[in-house]
């Protein structure tokens, strides 16, 4: 299998502070990969580098083409949906308008309609609240909206930044079930950033652990789960 | 009572002019988080273009859309050339740049057309229609109809098209919009283009009432500011309602308060100050709360 996303020795930072000190990782077509690590390790910055939110050096390739000097909008148009930290909901707009922003670039009308049906099957609450302002949604519902919107982009790769953050455990479980289902039914690859290592490793096939801007551990998710010293020192459980 | 109604209708007509310019201010406020102090001058400049076209023999009703298109292009050009390079500059820099732009546009208009006021023929009949004793001039009705149509078109564009949706998203949530593939910078330019075009309408509608000269919009812009602030500065609908309210109020005050003519402008400024004190978010402004 060929790598869909490849980061090679990526360095990035904010102004004069460097945050990533040479991160390499890869996500295969249709694969779920966890990106774990303590607060401040550089997980969010890694995702931002991929979609051009921070300057980086090294190389990032998506579907065989480098993303160097590609603006965020154009990275996204190549087939990457990035649900950022904080979810990126447009709270000035309605639920429906947020969803439309997910599909606004697509011309395959019939397929879009099917995707809407799927989205509302996954998240019936969004259908009920279509006309309401997105600001009226609860945290969990906003996370659902963000995922739904990403799904409507029909991406080849989803970047999810802590989808479990601030949500009740039961909501987290149902959201992860849906991520699994999205990955399986539409063959979307997922790069999943999580603090909650246990639930992320359950879902992913491979995982990277970042420590202060470097990959400290890398391996199959199952192996990491079984390795007690890795779990203790990096994953906190 | 009849006189009152007549005053209200002509107030709505003036208000429609304020509303167009106020909407222009709001569109740009949403695009760059700041009012464009050059909005009035840009409208004046566009009006001079319309004047030139009409003088060259073009019918007003052709010159009108042509001017709107030119103003649209001009707005985009100004955003790309003047505003974009300083997009991330501090607010004060932007204020000074739009003030400088106002002076520049004013000066260029003076250089090209001079400062002698010119009369700009109204496209509407000077007659009035008698509605049960209330005489309403076709000029007022014409201004209301034309402004109303333009405002309606802008509304439909913003609320019911994909471009309008991405424009609103880009203005309010630039970071999130980029991640959805919206070319935010171009959307902001589009906002400038639309603002410039709708502002041009206010200029073309007010020129037959006032006289056309480079300083023509300098009082109108104060009323437009008042209207935009009254409506809540971020709300397009608020700008329109605010414009109509200011127009009617100023018109009634001018007629019923003795010697108010000299004070009308102070009246406009008074509205701004009162709103800022009593209701800083305006009639349609959302209180700035955000869910986390
Ligand atoms: N906008 C920013 N400006 C400056 N420093 C930042 C910014 N965002 C994050 N950082 C710093 O970069 C480091 C990594 O942050 P981040 O990528 O958000 O970590 P994580 O997502 O793993 O918690 C932290 O030390 C953080 O303080
Ligand atoms: Mg983070």
Give tens-digit pLDDT for A75-93.
999 999 999 999 999 999 9
Contact A72 B179 (CB under 8 A): yes
Cα separation of A190 and B59, whole Å?
60
Candidate from A45, A51, A164, A197 with most ligand 1 atoms within 8 A of CB, to mutate: A45
Largest Cα separation within chain A, whole Å, is 51
Comparing C-alpha atoms, which of B170, B41, B31 is closest to residue B87? B31
Q: Enumerate residues lining ligand 1, CB below 6 A.
A: A 14, 17, 19, 37, 39-45
Chain A residues near residue B290 by CB distance under 8 angstroms: 91, 135
Mean pLDDT of A172-200: 93
Among B162, B182, B292, select the one facing A73 at the smallest CB separation.
B182
Handedness of CA B15, B17, B23, B24 (dihedral sign): negative
Chain A residues in contact with B292 by the CB 8 A cut-off are 86
Which residue stretches of chain B have pLDDT < 70?
260-261, 286-292
Contact A76 B178 (CB under 8 A): yes
Closest residue in A to B234 (Cα) is A92
Say which ligand is closest to the CA of A162: 2
How remote is the CA of residue A43 from the centroid of ligand 2, in Å? 6
pLDDT of residue A45: 98
Section A160-183 average pLDDT = 93
**What's the token pair of residue A10?**
């990526």
Angle (CA) B222-B227-B228 rounded to 5° is: 95
Return the pLDDT at B292: 29
Rounded to whole angstroms, the Cα distance separating A21 from A42 reads: 10
- Of B84, B159, B181, B291, which to mutate for an interface test with A (greatest number of A Cβ within 10 Å)? B181
CATH of domain B2-278: 1.10.3470
pLDDT band with cut points at 50, 70 and 90 for residue A148? very high
Q: What are the residues whose beta carbons fall under 8 Å from the beta carbon of A194, sequence distance 6 or more?
A: A34, A35, A36, A162, A163, A164, A200
Show me where the domains of chain B are located: 2-278
Q: Which atom of ligand 1 is nearest to the CA of A39?
A: 23
Any chain A CB within 8 A of the CB of B182?
yes
ipTM of the complex: 0.94
Percent of chain B with pLDDT over 90: 76
CB atoms within 10 A of CB B36: 31
* Residues B204, B211 contacting (CB under 8 angstroms): no
The residue whose C-alpha atom lies closest to atom 7 belonging to ligand 1 is A14
pLDDT number for residue B285: 77
Nearest CA-CA partner of B199 in B110, B78, B112: B78
Alpha-carbon gap: A90 to the closest alpha carbon of chain B (Å): 6
Q: For chain A, give the mean pLDDT.
A: 94
Instruction: Answer whether B169 sits within 8 Å of A135, measured CB to CB.
Output: no
A149–B166 C-beta distance less than 8 A: no
Comparing CA positions, the residue from B69, B46, B37 lying closest to residue B199 is B46
What is the whole-number distance in angstroms between the Cα of residue A53 and the centre of ligand 2?
13
Work out the minimum CA distance from A107 to partner chain B, whole angstroms. 12
Beta pairing partners, A158: A81, A190
Pull the structure tokens for residue B200.
């041009």
Among A13, A20, A21, A40, name the best residue to mutate to test ligand 1's pocket (greatest count of ligand atoms within 8 A of Cβ): A40
User: What's the CA gap between B189 and B178, in Å, rounded?
Assistant: 15
* Residue bearing the CA closest to ligand 1, atom 13: A40
Mention every residue, 6+ apart, whose C-beta is less than 8 A from residue B22.
Answer: B224, B225, B227, B228, B231, B239, B240, B242, B243
CA distance A43 to A195: 10
Residue B280 has a pLDDT of 82
> Do A93 and B169 count as a contact with CB atoms less than 8 A apart?
yes
In this structure, what token pair is assigned to residue B99?
Answer: 């003030």
Q: Which value, in Å, is the radius of gyration of the alpha carbons in chain B? A: 19
Nearest to B181 among A73, A88, A93 (CB): A73
For B181, nearest residue in chain A (alpha carbons): A73
Task: With beta carbons less than 8 A apart as the criterion, state whether B242 and B227 touch.
Answer: yes
**How many CA within 13 A on the CB side of residue B175?**
11
Tell me, what's the pLDDT at B1?
77
Between the CA atoms of B20, B23, B25 and B27, what dihedral angle is there, to the nearest 10 degrees?
A: -140
Residue of A nearest to B289 (CA): A135
CB B224 within 8 A of CB B18: yes
For ligand 1, mutation pick of A35, A44, A50 (most atoms within 8 Å of CB) = A44
Catalogue all structural domains in chain A, each as residue range(s) with its CATH number. 3-235 (3.40.50.300)
- What is the per-residue pLDDT for B286? 67
User: What is the per-residue pLDDT for B261?
Assistant: 67
pLDDT computed for residue B134 by the predictor: 87
Q: Is B175 in CB contact (< 8 Å) with chain A?
A: yes
Residues 6+ away with beta carbon under 8 Å from B184: A73, B170, B174, B177, B178
> Of the ligands numbered here, which is closest to the C-alpha atom of A86?
2
Q: A18 has which bridge partners?
A: A13
């Amino acid at each position: 299998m060929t790598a869909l996303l490849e980061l090679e020795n990526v360095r990035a930072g904010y102004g004069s502070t460097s945050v990533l000190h040479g991160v390499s990782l890869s996500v295969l077509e249709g694969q779920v990969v966890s990106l774990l690590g303590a607060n401040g390790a550089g997980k969010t910055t890694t995702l931002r580098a991929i979609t051009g939110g921070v300057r980086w050096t090294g190389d990032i390739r998506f579907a065989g083409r480098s993303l160097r000097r590609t603006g965020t909008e154009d990275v996204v148009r190549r087939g990457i949906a990035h649900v950022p930290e904080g979810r990126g909901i447009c709270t000035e707009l309605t639920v429906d308008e947020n969803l439309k922003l997910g599909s606004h670039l697509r011309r395959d009308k019939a397929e879009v309609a099917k995707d809407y049906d799927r989205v509302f099957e996954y998240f019936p609450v969004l259908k009920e609240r279509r006309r309401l302002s997105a600001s009226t949604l609860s945290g969990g519902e906003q996370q659902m909206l963000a995922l739904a919107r990403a799904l409507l982009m029909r991406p080849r790769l989803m970047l999810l930044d802590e989808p479990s953050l601030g949500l009740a455990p039961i909501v987290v479980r149902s959201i992860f079930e849906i991520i699994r289902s999205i990955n399986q039914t539409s063959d979307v690859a997922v790069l999943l950033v999580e603090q909650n290592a246990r639930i992320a490793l359950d879902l992913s096939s491979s995982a990277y652990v970042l420590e202060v801007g470097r990959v400290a551990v890398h391996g199959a998710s199952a192996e990491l789960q079984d390795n007690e010293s890795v779990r203790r020192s990096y994953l906190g459980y | 009572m009849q006189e009152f109604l007549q005053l209200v209708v002509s107030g709505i007509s003036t208000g429609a002019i304020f509303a167009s310019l106020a909407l222009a201010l709001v569109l740009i406020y949403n695009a760059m988080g700041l009012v464009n102090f050059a909005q009035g001058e840009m409208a004046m400049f566009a009006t001079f273009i319309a004047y030139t076209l009409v003088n060259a023999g073009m019918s007003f009703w052709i010159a009108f859309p042509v001017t709107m298109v030119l103003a649209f292009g001009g707005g985009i050009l100004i955003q790309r050339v003047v505003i974009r390079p300083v997009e991330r500059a501090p607010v004060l820099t932007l204020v000074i740049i739009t003030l400088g732009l106002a002076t520049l546009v004013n000066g260029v208009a003076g250089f090209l057309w001079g400062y002698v006021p010119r009369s700009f023929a109204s496209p509407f009949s000077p007659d009035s229609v008698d509605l049960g004793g209330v005489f309403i001039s076709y000029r007022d009705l014409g201004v209301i109809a034309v402004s109303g149509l333009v405002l309606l078109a802008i509304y439909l564009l913003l609320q019911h098209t994909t471009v309008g949706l991405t424009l609103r998203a880009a203005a309010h949530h630039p970071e999130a919009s980029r991640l959805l593939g919206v070319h935010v910078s171009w959307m902001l330019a589009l906002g400038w283009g639309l603002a410039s075009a709708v502002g041009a309408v206010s200029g073309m509608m007010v020129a037959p009432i006032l006289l056309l000269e480079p300083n023509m919009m300098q009082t109108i812009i104060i009323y437009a500011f008042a209207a935009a602030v009254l409506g809540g500065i971020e709300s397009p609908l608020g700008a329109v309602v605010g414009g109509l309210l200011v127009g009617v109020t100023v018109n009634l005050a001018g007629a019923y308060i003795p010697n108010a003519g000299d004070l009308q402008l102070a009246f406009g400024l008074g509205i701004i100050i009162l709103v800022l004190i009593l209701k800083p978010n305006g009639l349609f402004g959302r209180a700035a709360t955000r869910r986390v």
